[in-house]
Amino acid sequence: MSSDNDTSNSPTWGPLRSFGRIKSRTLKPRQAALFDTLLPTLAVPDPNAGPIDPQALMPGAKEVWLEIGFGGGEHLAAQAARHPDTLMIGCEPFLNGVGSALRHIEDGALKNVRLHADDARDVMKALPDASLDRVMILFPDPWHKARHNKRRLIQDESAAEIARLLKPGGRLRFVTDWKDYAEWALERLERTPGLEWTADRAADWKTAPEDHVVTRYEEKKLGDTEPLFLEFVRV
């Protein structure tokens, strides 16, 4: 895996890491315990072992949603509670975030969440075509420095992979509070065959959708703009 100072031109949809730290503070005792007790019961099968069948993860699920980089898990858990018949697959490499999500899942007695405590791209590659109803990417690492832009999650290759995974009519929601990343993502998503931007006017990307869940990260207002919401549909 390349270091953060790598200035090569290798594509992001490959060995380059699109996320930052894996762990910061020591896990709280309850969260550490949940890694041993709860996580094994809802972990996504090893994507390197073969294809992943979403229906095998939750038989009878009416829809399948994927959240890439769920942070502390507040949004993932809230959406899972609102949609108990929907399988929620969440991917997050930051172990403290996984620990937080496990706590939310236990507190809510949620049965429709499956987690991958690592790079989402591995799971995406293992999922079949047209297997997802929604993909959600909220506040991904912006990788500000120009030489690090290649590490951004949204690249032409990842956008094409999202289009492959979405069912016809399926939707992608990308949210960022950095103007340059919104422009970067919009440029790549708009030129991806099969994806169509749903916005008609500025309010469509400046106003939070009705089902949006505000997270602790969003409340910190660390970006250079109010959150921008890019919604795409698979056509």
CB 20 within 8 A of CB 71: no
CB 65 within 8 A of CB 87: yes
Query: Out of 6, 122, 141, 156, which one is annotated catalytic?
Result: 141
Q: CA-CA distance, 196 to 113, in Å (whole number)? A: 28
Q: CA-CA distance, 230 to 203, in Å (whole number)? A: 11
Instruction: Tokens for 191, please give them.
Output: 């030129």
Strands 195-197 and 228-234: antiparallel
Active site residue 53: no
> DSSP readout, 110-168?
-SSEEEESS-HHHHHHHSPTT-EEEEEEES-----SGGGGGGSS--HHHHHHHHHHEEE
What are 67's strand-pairing partners? 90, 136
Positions annotated as catalytic residues are: 141
